[in-house]
Copies of this chain bind each other. A is one copy, B any other.
Amino acid sequence: MFVLNRVQSINNIFRQVNLIKNALENNYPLKRWLHDHLTLAILGENLSFPYVWLRDNCQCEMCFHQSARSRILDWSNFDLDVKPRDVVRDENSLQVTWTDGHKSKFDLNWLKFRSFTADNQQRYNEAIYKPKKITWSGEQFQKICTKHEYDEILNSDKGLYNWLLKLSTYGVALIQNTPNSETAIDSIVERIGFTKRTHYGVKFIVQHVANTSNVAYLSSNLQMHTDLPYYEYCPGANLLHCLVQTKSLGGENLLSDGHFIAEHIKENYPDQYKLLTEVEVEWSDIGTEDKNDFFKLYRAPVICLDKHGAVTRINFSIPQRGSHFPGTIDMVKPWYEAHRLFLALNHRFSAKFKTKEGDILAFDNIRLLHGRNAYEDNNDNVRKLIGAYVDWDEIYSRLRCLKIKLKSEDTVY
């Protein structure tokens, strides 16, 4: 093991003992690693990098394709026990000559940004991977729902970045002063990337239709829901451009933060939390749109968790919950009780407001529930929204590109 610049501190030795202990406790195979890494001080921190990781991430032209920014190293010949023959460090870089003569050079900032300490990993996550989410309840809505100008999003990278950052942090952000045209929303979508197409189209129109394929196209109460939970690849964000708002009573939007509700249930109703996170429901949509038949089914709990217990997705829709319950009969009644609780809490903690013509309401469709109160069209006033979905893959990608472009971080990516 190479130790550069300073002797390892007692703390560092303790850390290594803990790593071995953790590895043994987790029952992972543990071989040779202690003698298989290089430790060096970068900006006051002792950081360790496994030889195998360094060799795998060699940035030279033979190992890494510069325009594709991709590893091209041939793994059929890769030596897992690769060792350095010589290591030279200068102010800004580390140069390693491996026993087979291959040479690698690493920028020190580049290394530090990829280092394995918990602090550095956390910094990387929030700087690059995904912005942290902040939950809210209805009474905080006026504060957290920021308003953004249509023109600014179109013409300024900073404007676009701010809007997308708010959307990913709070799950909702409003655009105002949008031109009164069915295609105005397209320019916003193009600033991000492209829409997520579904069987309802590349975009969709929300308007009262009598013999509809979807209850969202009715003027009656639209109970709180997430859109299209029957898609395994459920649309990530929903953009709804209000072209014509109803002049009748009603037509208000309801919005609630499913992540806030999940936290609340976890804390106060642990039995129901277990049911809502574990019992799979069959979400369903069957019909014909634009002469094409569809029959979508997808099974997932109301609250989906990752393996760390963090909420990844909320599914909720009374109309689009299928009649087939894919669980045991003893789960049915308790699950229905938890389902009612979830709905009631979403109403209790929801925000109510009415969008204006020219507004584009943008919200996270796998996090927020939305609904709409009943309204009445008349001959001179037919409520009309244009909708488009954009996936989080594209939104996060655009956020990362903008962050670099705007140089809001001085990190080497």
Contacts and interface: CB of A to CB of B under 8 A. Distances in A.
Contacts of A80: 333, 336-337, 340
A114 B19 contact: no
Contacts of A392: 232
Given A295-B400, A295-B404, A297-B400, A32 B333 contact: yes
Contacts of A232: 391-393
Contacts of A28: 271, 274-275, 330-331, 334
Given A50-B329, A320-B70, A334-B28, A197 B199 contact: no
A320 B328 CA distance: 41
Nearest to A73: B318
Contacts of A413: 286
B19 A329 contact: yes
B328 A22 contact: yes
Contacts of A76: 223, 343, 347
Contact of A214 (B48, B68, B114): B68
Copies per complex?
2
A297 B396 contact: yes
B74 A330 contact: no
Given A31-B333, A129-B297, A337-B80, A215 B114 contact: no
Interface of A: 19-20, 22-23, 27-33, 36-37, 48, 50, 52-53, 56-57, 65, 67-76, 78, 80, 113-114, 116, 121, 124-125, 128-129, 193-194, 197, 199, 211-215, 217-218, 220-221, 223, 231-233, 271-272, 274-275, 278, 282, 285-287, 292-299, 307, 318-321, 323-334, 336-337, 340, 343, 347, 391-394, 396-397, 400-401, 404-405, 413
Contacts of A69: 285-287
Contact of A29 (B68, B128, B337): B337
Contact of A287 (B53, B67, B121, B296): B67
Q: Lowest 10 A-B CB distances belong to which pairs?
A: A70-B319, A295-B400, A116-B329, A233-B233, A293-B401, A50-B332, A57-B323, A23-B330, A19-B330, A33-B333
A76 to B, nearest CB: 8
Most chain B beta-carbon neighbours within 10 Å: one of A128, A298, A327, A401: A401
Contacts of A334: 28-31, 33
Nearest to A325: B53
A68 B294 CA distance: 12
Contact of A321 (B71, B221, B293, B330): B71
A75 B317 CA distance: 11
A114 B22 CA distance: 47
A67 B293 contact: no
Nearest to A36: B333
Given A292-B193, A333-B50, A334-B29, A129 B20 contact: no
A277 to B, nearest CB: 10
A142 to B, nearest CB: 25
Given A199-B394, A294-B397, 4 more contacts: A36-B333, A50-B333, A70-B214, A73-B318
